[in-house]
Structure 1
């Protein structure tokens, strides 16, 4: 995709996620997401941080977190989830579909990946049957399967082939683990999926523990 197409898809993804959030029951905001330790409201706080924080504030928060970026993101998401009303978080996403934010070094491909993955963190955890359009998924899968993406998430896929059953895409070699392409994108991000979403003799390693 060129930049114009990417920004169009980003705006569409954010708009669809905002519509999904607008239809949730109040209690759903406190349901767990696929992001370990985060509820739906922490995920939304994280997604909208880029729209709510100025560059100087990001630098300030990073300094407060000892220069550790992941620690800053977790601390801010938890604090904002506790202090910012869900309606305000929802409005921040709804009103910023065309915001030009890009992750450092990630470009608009990274922005699309960020929104798609965190959207799936919510919809899969809530059991919502939302399908990400294939054009967006191909951008996401290309980035997650790149050397940079694999290094960042550090998922061990040695001896495993991820094979989508709803589009022409596979990754790796070895024992097949099959499922929807968007679920396999979550595997590349190190997420644990609800039981039954993947198939293959080694699929259990990517499933969430039963409670």
Structure 2
């Protein structure tokens, strides 16, 4: 580690191992963080462009309740447009009272249904959207770094057209400072697995969260 040479993910991982335990823990933690949120804070813009904090929570409700068959039906109805499908899901699950949406999320915490997607996408959802909500609200959480690395490996290998960030990592070597993770070849970018995951997912970061000659390119 620490070089700008080539290479792929430094250690093989099984993204499906214990995934639902992690997802359920993260959903529970988010419920706990939002239970005392003042009413005027729910309209705070999230890190996800165009969505406020309430919208992101509604998306997480929709995601938790989605089944494979249900997703296929909704995706076809949305004209095979991912953005439209997501927007319709937010509209469907966003209660007039944000605490109604929170109650719906609380009721869905233990669900294990999913759209027809790789298991690592469940980790991407809870980690990235967790930060979409927490950061603008000034809330902090320490995520399990090894599982964040699994989400990061998926995002770094998946096209932006499919919700990943592969194109953002071209010509870069990413290395985590808090767990064993390295992928890519080129200019080095180092940071926590969480910071790298957010950057690869197109979220804004403070420049001090990452280091290395490739930082500007990744954040751009």
Query: Equivalences for 1:150-169 in 2 at 5 Å?
Result: 152=162, 153=164, 154-169=166-181
Partner of 1:123: 134
What is the CA–CA distance in structure 2 between the aligned matches of 1:74 and 1:60, rounded to whole Å?
A: 15
Query: Equivalences for 1:39-54 in 2 at 5 Å?
Result: 39-51=52-64
TM-aligned CA deviation for residue 51 of structure 1? 4.7
Name the count of aligned residue pairs: 205
Partner of 2:110: 98
2:185 to 173, 176, 189: 173
Partner of 1:85: 97
Structure 2 gap ranges (5+): 1-13
> How does the TM-score come out when normalised to structure 2?
0.77
What is the CA–CA distance in structure 2 between the aligned matches of 1:4 and 1:203, rounded to whole Å?
A: 31
Partner of 2:48: 35
Segment drifting more, 57-66 vs 133-142: 57-66
Which segments of structure 1 move beyond 6 Å, counting only runs of 4 or more? 53-57
* Counterparts in 2 of 1:205 and 1:39: CA distance versus 1, 3 Å: farther
TM-aligned CA deviation for residue 110 of structure 1? 2.5
Partner of 1:143: 154
Q: Give SS of 2:167's match.
A: coil
Indicate if the aligned counterparts of 1:194 and 1:207 stay in contact, CA closer than 8 A.
Answer: no
Partner of 1:14: 27
* Counterparts in 2 of 1:37 and 1:54: CA distance versus 1, 3 Å: same
**How big is the alpha-carbon RMSD for the aligned residues of Structure 1 and Structure 2?**
2.9
> How does the TM-score come out when normalised to structure 1?
0.80
Structure 1 gap ranges (5+): none
The C-alpha deviation readout for 1:107-127, integer Å capped at 9, x for no partner, is: 3x3223222221122223333
TM-aligned CA deviation for residue 101 of structure 1? 1.6
Segment drifting more, 71-80 vs 160-169: 71-80
Partner of 2:122: 111
* Counterparts in 2 of 1:26 and 1:206: CA distance versus 1, 3 Å: farther
What is the CA–CA distance in structure 1 between the aligned matches of 2:183 and 2:70, rounded to whole Å?
A: 39
TM-aligned CA deviation for residue 27 of structure 1? 2.4
